[in-house]
Amino acid sequence: MRNSRNVTPVGYAGRVNAITEPQSALIEPATLNTILTEAVQAGAEFAEVFAEDVRNTSVSFDDNKVESLSSSHDRGAGIRVTRGATTGFAHVADLSSGALQKATRSALDALGQAEKTSQEVVVSDSSVAPLSIERDPASIEKQNKVGLLQAANDKARSVGSAIAQVNARYGDVQRHIQVANSDGLLRSDSQTRTLFSINAVASGDSGLQTGYESIGLSVGYELFDLYNVEELAETAANRAVMKLDAKPAPSGTLPVVIGPGSGGVVFHEACGHGLEADLVHKGASAFAGKVGEQVASPLVTLIDDGTMGKEWGHYSIDDEGAFASRNLLIENGILVDYLWDAKTAREHNRQSSGNGRRQSYKHLPMVRMTNTYLAAGTSAPEDIIASVDYGVYVSKLGGGQVDTASGDFVFGMVEAFLIEGGKITSPLREGQLIGNGPKVLQQIEAVGNDFAMGPPGRCGKDGQGVPVGDGVPTLKVAELTIGGTAA
């Protein structure tokens, strides 16, 4: 019924595996030394080269046929230079020495004239091996990937004549990055992610209802040794059919129990963004100036962890070359720290937390989440549900909107049920979950022992999107506003 995965969060030690075939350097160290030396001798206080090589494959299956099949390959580098509060940036799709030097001079133009120096930069490689993959997606024939989607389509349609439409999608991305800067840092990472999703539409007297399932991990084609696409398709189709007979969601303020897995999006959106240091120091966060304060129920421990092996938001290094880390944000309700990239960390005389991320070499990095989750508690899920006389059980949340400054949010309830007399009863049609992030943190009354990660996500911020994961155990919120359609 739920697209979630029971996992045990792991730390740094869970990711230092050898990759099968390490990729060669995108830019040779001697060239990097030349570029970075030129930048600092021209007056940059800090200079950075971020190089990237990305290969994507995507297959979409709709209306019983392949709708699209595409592959792409993009590579290039972004050059960043800073002096004081001024940043110069240029990017180029040519990794030759001449093109990189031209881009460097273009970035330096933003800094203006400065006193020349004789400083030289020599980079030293201190990379660790990224997460290994077992089956390279590039080695799999495209007809095999199409076959997965055909099997999922057929299974979803076999659920019944009410299924009117099925759309299935496969995707994989292989990303190799290299980061070098004027502090002498040189690190690289290879990241592989594989994704499958399916959307089924059922038609009935109540109109059209949808069911959606997706799975994605930082693994290769072995994703499909771990998960059966036909089972996912059947789940999505059954969800769509079930909603045909669902009741309208109630309207008003009620106790809400959020199931394990996909409910993590609440903490990502309503709380996680407010803990990103750049938003905090712009005054765009409800959590500004509250480190050391009780900001949540004592049951709440919130963590962001880029080292969670194989999870969607995993990486070995961030897009500024800092090692990924496990960052404790809230512990037993106390705000412990924010998330930091290199820029905001330097401004506050501290180290990056490994959360500097960018969409591509064409973008500047900024503070971003990785895998953000609420740690498991001690309550049995059945006891949490039994404690609610009348309320709503939300087993799957969809997208929504949030105001990071206030913490106010609205999320879609993709799959929800009534709770009556301590038992889950009737399915509900889609409605909205409305609340305030800081207030929700204070109103959490129970946290389950059934932690699970939710489906893969793509987080947008300032026009950039990056892959992220999130997760929660079952939890109870004393009250949230349900935006339903029931009278």
**pLDDT level of residue 5 (50, 70, 90 thresholds):** low
> What is the pLDDT, as a whole number, of residue 484?
66
CATH class label, 5-243: alpha beta
Please tell me whether the overall predicted TM-score, pTM, comes out greater than 0.95 for this model: no
User: Is the confidence at residue 19, as pLDDT, over 80?
Assistant: no
Place of tokens 């830019």: 27
Which of 149-153, 243-247, 402-406 shows the highest mean pLDDT?
Answer: 149-153
User: Is the confidence at residue 9, as pLDDT, over 70?
Assistant: no
> What is the pLDDT, as a whole number, of residue 23?
58
Mean local confidence (pLDDT), 183-196:
97
**Positions of CATH 3.30.2290.10 in the chain:** 5-243
> What is the pLDDT, as a whole number, of residue 308?
95
User: Is the confidence at residue 66, as pLDDT, over 90?
Assistant: yes
User: Is the confidence at residue 20, as pLDDT, over 70?
Assistant: no
Which comes out higher in pLDDT, residue 66 or 115?
66
Q: How far is the C-alpha of 347 from the C-alpha of 367, rounded, in Å?
A: 13
> What is the pLDDT, as a whole number, of residue 349?
95
Lowest mean pLDDT among 220-234, 265-279, 338-352, 355-369: 265-279
Which comes out higher in pLDDT, residue 24 or 218?
218
> What is the pLDDT, as a whole number, of residue 404?
83
Mean local confidence (pLDDT), 324-342:
98
> What is the pLDDT, as a whole number, of residue 8?
44
> What is the pLDDT, as a whole number, of residue 485?
63
